[in-house]
Amino acid sequence: MLDQYISLILFNVIFVISIVVSFTVLKKRINFLAILMTTILWGLIPWPYFYLREITESVLMITFLRLTISTMCGFLLVFIFIVINKKGKKTGFLNWFQYTFTDFKTNITNNLPIKPILIKDEKQVRRFPYLLYYFLLGFCYFTSILFYFLSYQYIGVVFSSIINTVMVLLLIAFLNLARRLESIDIINASYLIVLLMAGVITVISTPLIFTGGSIFFGIIALSLTVVFWTGFVLLSGLDEYTVHEKERILSLDEQGTNFQLTKSMTKISFFFLFGLISLIIFVAIFRFLDVNIYLTLEIISFLNELQNLPMLLQNPWTWIIGIECTIFPYFIYFQSQNNWPSRSLNWDQWVAILAIFEPLASIFVGFFIGAEAIYNTALLTIAIVLMTIVMVLRYYHEKNSVKSVIFIKVKQHGMKNLINRLRYNPNISELKTLTGEYDIALKTFFPSYFKLKQFLDRLKQIDAVIDVNNLIEFELKIK
């Protein structure tokens, strides 16, 4: 392992470069590169993990430190944004801050507007409180981090990062196909097969010998990581804007408003907090039950090391794992979403494409920081190449989403409001006003025909819309 001071300097150089690149590309409206920087920073999480393992025996303590630092810094950022909005001017640069204490309260006390496709009962939608939603997110987040760190400990960073990414992507893809949120085609099937091959080759390249219980527990921990992280990803996409929030967004100038950014930072701050609460509940329950030797040892070590908490908080790697590998990447992540250019692939699509870079960064850390040189290098290289091919195939799959041209006939008084609402839909790549039978033309792309139909159904329900005509766009090469 590298000398700690050299490693600190090297890590912070990479971090500063990532931040500079992120804010540069955000200004130039090439936001997908900012997403790339965040995936790399998340992939570097094993780096501070290795150094923290030298000063603490408990993986649970590392999880606790990350959640604690993230919670404090997340709420601090939100508080700063709200105070600037309250005390600052409402024009110029300070118009950037649009989130208020009232909005903060709304995101705690109100009920979650879950997408109708997932819950059909309207009464059930209105009765699902935000705090329960944040608790579920926090629980999934805490458990996925804990078991991921445990899999690092027992079966290694390289193996854990690749297999976790492969299994989560496959599981989410199959769930989306089952829910008709994606459609199967040749490119889609190809990248799923190649992704599966990368996972199989990684397993073959890894000399895991099942002679002891620790390896078996590592596999169990990794399996639980996949389950809880998949749950977290699916749950995190349920939160829509309330009617109040939509009106607030439409009342703001499109350029420079970061209402969505602060709302998202509030959301993650709460699930960090509830993740921390889940950890405390988890420790209390398992300490009382005393049912698993590995978790029991973890919990005992964690409780013993609580007295060393002041010393652990003085360690720079504690703050790196909480701030540089967590809060800052999330901030850039949401900033790229908030300022996403209209003529581009969907933000969610680029997130799916660039997700492969996270395990690639972890592989780098595992080899050069953790010294995990125990793999069949040739086979592991093949797995890495296959994962790169997956990224390329995923790009072409997303690029060839269902494209359509939609013509809308609008009531005269509702024209301006409808245009404002449509401007914020990431599936619309181009919007034009027309003269003649129809008033608006949209060029759209969706991951499946089902999602397109869902959009059209919602569009027809808007009071200002008189008629909608949809034409599917096909690529036709003329020789």
Question: What's the CATH number where 435 sits?
Answer: 3.30.70.920
Q: Are residues 239 and 336 in the same domain?
A: yes
CB 45 within 8 Å of CB 325: yes
pLDDT at 211: 46
Q: Which tokens in the block code for residue 44?
A: 């570097």
Give the span between the Cα atoms of 79 and 265, in whole angstroms: 10
In a domain, 233, yes or no: yes
Asked if residue 426 and residue 320 are part of one domain, the reply reads no
Residue 479 inside a domain? The answer is no
Q: Are residues 369 and 385 in the same domain?
A: yes
Q: Which of 371, 399, 427 is the last residue of a domain?
A: 399
Give the whole-angstrom CA distance, residue 434 versus residue 181: 31
pLDDT value at residue 162: 92
Dihedral over Cα of 417, 423, 424, 428: its sign? positive
Q: Are residues 22 and 123 in the same domain?
A: yes
Distance of CA 444 to the CA centre of its chain: 24
| Same domain assignment for residues 277 and 416 | no
Do 374 and 410 lie in one domain? The reply is no
Report d(CA 435, CA 90) in Å as an integer: 37
Residue 478 lies in a domain: no
**Distance (Å, rounded) from C-alpha 260 to C-alpha 264?**
6
Tell me, yes or no, whether 387 and 411 share the same domain.
no
Structural domain containing residue 465: 402-473
Q: Is 279 part of a structural domain of the chain?
A: yes
For residue 228, the model assigns a pLDDT of 95
Q: Cα dist. 198→130, 164, 184, 381 in Å?
A: 39, 12, 20, 10
Instruction: Tell whether 107 and 130 lie within a shared domain.
Output: yes
Q: Angle at which helices 259-289 and 243-251 pack, to 10 degrees? A: 150
Q: Are 202 and 345 contained in the same domain?
A: yes
Number of domains into which the chain is organized: 2
Does residue 342 share a domain with residue 435?
no
Helix (H) or strand (E) holding 291, with range, is none
* Integer angstrom CA distances of residue 209 from 33, 199, 226, 306, 370: 40, 18, 22, 34, 20
Six-digit token pair at 307?
Answer: 């007295």
Predicted TM-score (pTM) of the model is 0.82
In terms of domains, do 391 and 410 share one? no
Residue type, 446: F
CA–CA separation, 4 vs 320, rounded Å? 13
pLDDT, residue 479, reads 44
For residue 370, CA distances in Å to 1, 50, 209, 364, 435 come to: 6, 7, 20, 9, 64
Gap between the terminal Cα atoms of the chain: 59
Maximum separation of any 2 CA atoms in the chain, in Å: 76
* Cα distance between residue 404 and residue 454, in whole Å: 14
Q: Of the candidates 339, 366, 399, which is a domain's last residue?
A: 399
CA distance 101 to 104: 5
Q: Are 416 and 250 in contact (CB under 8 A)?
A: no
- One domain for residues 88 and 208: yes
Indicate whether 144 belongs to any domain. yes
In 46-156, alpha helices (H): 46-52, 59-87, 101-109, 122-126, 130-155
Residue pointed to by tokens 């949120």: 181
Q: pLDDT per position in the chain (479 positions), as tens?
A: 678 889 999 999 999 999 999 989 887 778 889 999 999 999 999 999 999 999 998 999 999 999 999 999 999 998 888 887 776 655 555 555 567 788 888 888 887 765 543 333 444 445 678 888 899 999 999 999 999 999 998 888 999 999 999 999 999 888 887 877 677 778 788 888 999 999 999 888 887 654 455 788 889 999 999 999 999 988 887 776 665 566 656 555 544 457 778 888 898 999 999 999 999 999 988 888 766 667 888 888 899 999 889 999 999 999 999 999 999 999 999 888 877 775 567 777 788 888 889 999 999 999 888 888 778 888 889 999 999 998 888 888 777 677 788 888 888 787 877 877 776 676 777 788 887 788 888 888 777 677 778 788 888 888 888 888 887 765 544 44
Q: Decide which of 347, 364, 399 is a domain's last residue.
A: 399
